Structure 1
Amino acid sequence: MRIVVLALDGVFDTGLTVALDAFSTASALSARLFGGTPRFDLTVAGVRRRVRTAQGLTVPVKPVTPGLRPDWVIVPALRATTPAALLPALSRPDVREAISQLLKWTAKGAQIGASCIGTFLLAEAGLLDQQEATTTWSLAPFFRQRYPHVRLDESRMLVPFDRGVTAGAAMGHLDLALWLIRQASPELAGTVSRYLLADIRSSQAPYIIPNHLAQADPLILRFERWSREHLREGFSLQQAARALATSARTLQRRCDAVLGKSPLAYFQDLRVEHAQSLLRRSGHNIEAIAAEVGYADGATLRTLLRQRLGRGVREIRAELH
């Protein structure tokens, strides 16, 4: 499998190196344990002769030439943690040139993988239009606003689409690399996971901070504050809208546009977040915690935790030990 890792100035150091380490580990283990196949032919390429990481390290890159014909192209993230930092980065000449090159490679049949901020380059190229995708959860509201034709689900860690795969935030680079290794050999991917003490995660949901997402919109931020004060009560869209001096329709529309979910779903996210906090720092039983976050019984809360986080009460409490 011929893989090109397309490095740009300001690339997120860990994202780049963790992907390179995963593929190089896979190649080494393949040669030692699996008779030399499958092998990953890895090239770090750049649209500029010199590439420096976000931490100022120089990355040795090969130029993009017509003879470079990858099966897969991996786009590591730029280190831009806010819309204000990301917007000018997306307009840089080297980034626009990289986007143009991605389109040329896909036209020749290459598959594209990107994680975290790297997914923005795929969206800029139009490769994700009408496709399901994920991205870094922390910039999901901005992504949703900028690319309304992408079916975004930031709760997922990995989302394949017809031209490749997108992955979630930061260490999602490792999940992306392991996913790609698994496409070549599930057995090899399992071995690499053991060597690196890493597993593919199915969800970003346990890592999402609802308050961070609410900062993207004044109405959503007010709704979040109101919700936290009313977690023990049954949710009423009409009551929330009246308290916020808006209409139920407007609140529904803004939640969908910013968060990609209904007001009730976000309200439940806050309940889950508070329940997790109580499970970790208190000795209360599940019935008491359920009452604290507005559920009639512990069974309902157990089901919600399992659905949203993929973990049960014992697993959440075990995280402290």
Structure 2
Amino acid sequence: MRITVLALDGLFDTGLAVTLDALGAANKLASRMMGATPKFNVTVVGVRKRVRSGQGFTIPVQAITPDLKPDWVIVPALGKTTPDELIPALDRADVKQATAQLVKWRAEGALIAASCIGTFLLAEAGLLDHREATSTWSLAPLFRQRYPKVSLDETRMLVATDIGVTAGAALGHLDLTLCLIRKASPELATLVSRYLLADIRSLQAPYIIPNHLALADPLMQRFERWSRDHLKEGFSLQDAANALATSARTLQRRCQEVLGKSPLAYFQDLRVERAQSLLHGSGLDLEAIAAEVGYVDGATLRTLLRQRLGRGVRELRADLR
């Protein structure tokens, strides 16, 4: 498999390093433990002759030449963590050149993969239009606002479509790379996972911090504060709207635009977050925790936790030890 890694100035150092290290480990393990030839021919390229990482390290890159015909192109994330940092970076000349190159490679048949902020470049190129995708959960509100044609689901760690794969935040680079290794050889992917003490995660949902997402919009901030004060009560959209001096329709619309979900779904996110906290440190049994977050019995909470986090109560308690 011919893999081209597209490096840009200011990229997230760990994202590039974990991608190259995992692919390097795959090639070594294929030879050493499976008696096979290396599976991946990896080239790191740049649209500029000199590329520096976010931490200031010089990254050796090759020039992009007409004879470069990758099977997969991987776009590591830029090291930007806030909208104020990211939006100007997306307007840089080298980023625009990179997005044009992604379109060209895709037209030639290459598949495109990106994690975290790297997914913004795919969206900038229009490659994710009318497709499902995931991205870093922390910038999901900005992603939705900037790319309304993309069906974003930031609760998922990996989303595969006809153009390639998108992955979630930060260390989602490792999940993404393991996914590509699995496409070449499931057996090899298992070896690499064990060697690196890493497994592909299906969900970002357990890592999402609901109040961080609410910071993207003043009405959502107020709704988040109101919701936390009323977790023990049954949710009423009209009561919430009245308390916030807005209409139920406006609250519904803003919640969908900013958070990609209904007010009730966000309210349940906060219940799940609170329940996780109580499972960890309160010493309360499940019935008492259910009462604290507004459910009449533990069975209902158990079902919600399983649906949202993909884990049962026993697994969650074990994870938090």
TM-score by length of 2: 0.99
Residue 149 of structure 2 aligns with which residue? 149
Residue 103 of structure 1 aligns with which residue? 103
- Partner of 2:20, secondary structure, is helix
Residue 64 of structure 1 aligns with which residue? 64
**Deviation digits for residues 258-290 of structure 1 (CA, Å, limit 9, x no counterpart):** 000000000000000000000101110000000
Amino acid at match of 1:175: D
- Partner of 2:45, secondary structure, is strand
Amino acid at match of 2:235: F
CA–CA separation in structure 2 for the residues paired with 1:272 and 1:133? 24
Unpaired stretches in structure 1, ≥5 consecutive residues: none
**Deviation digits for residues 129-178 of structure 1 (CA, Å, limit 9, x no counterpart):** 00000000000000000000000000000000111000000000000000
- Partner of 1:45, secondary structure, is strand
* Post-superposition offset of 1:86: 0.4
Unpaired stretches in structure 2, ≥5 consecutive residues: none
- Aligned positions of 1:86-97 closer than 5 A: 86-97=86-97
Residue 8 of structure 1 aligns with which residue? 8
Residue 222 of structure 2 aligns with which residue? 222
Matched, 1:212 2:212: yes
CA–CA separation in structure 1 for the residues paired with 2:248 and 2:87? 32
Amino acid at match of 1:143: F
* Post-superposition offset of 1:113: 0.1
**Deviation digits for residues 222-249 of structure 1 (CA, Å, limit 9, x no counterpart):** 0000000000000000110011111110
- Partner of 1:296, secondary structure, is coil
The root-mean-square deviation of aligned C-alpha atoms, in Å, is: 0.7
* Post-superposition offset of 1:37: 4.1
- Aligned positions of 1:1-321 closer than 5 A: 1-37=1-37, 39-321=39-321
CA–CA separation in structure 1 for the residues paired with 2:40 and 2:139? 32
Cα pair 1:141 1:213 within 8 Å, conserved: yes
CA–CA separation in structure 2 for the residues paired with 1:91 and 1:217? 23
* Post-superposition offset of 1:33: 2.0
- Partner of 1:48, secondary structure, is coil
CA–CA separation in structure 1 for the residues paired with 2:133 and 2:240? 31
Cα pair 2:215 2:221 within 8 Å, conserved: yes
Cα pair 2:28 2:38 within 8 Å, conserved: no
Cα pair 1:26 1:188 within 8 Å, conserved: yes
**Deviation digits for residues 45-103 of structure 1 (CA, Å, limit 9, x no counterpart):** 10111110000011111111111110000000000101110011001111111111101
Amino acid at match of 1:159: V
* Post-superposition offset of 1:316: 1.5
- Partner of 2:86, secondary structure, is helix
* Post-superposition offset of 1:252: 0.4
CA–CA separation in structure 1 for the residues paired with 2:165 and 2:48? 25
CA–CA separation in structure 2 for the residues paired with 1:119 and 1:268? 27
* Post-superposition offset of 1:38: 5.6
Amino acid at match of 1:201: R
Cα pair 2:116 2:167 within 8 Å, conserved: yes
Cα pair 2:134 2:154 within 8 Å, conserved: yes
CA–CA separation in structure 2 for the residues paired with 1:319 and 1:67? 48
Amino acid at match of 1:289: I
CA–CA separation in structure 1 for the residues paired with 2:319 and 2:30? 34
* Post-superposition offset of 1:320: 3.3
* Post-superposition offset of 1:36: 1.9
- Partner of 1:74, secondary structure, is strand
CA–CA separation in structure 2 for the residues paired with 1:127 and 1:69? 18
* Post-superposition offset of 1:311: 1.3
- Partner of 2:155, secondary structure, is coil
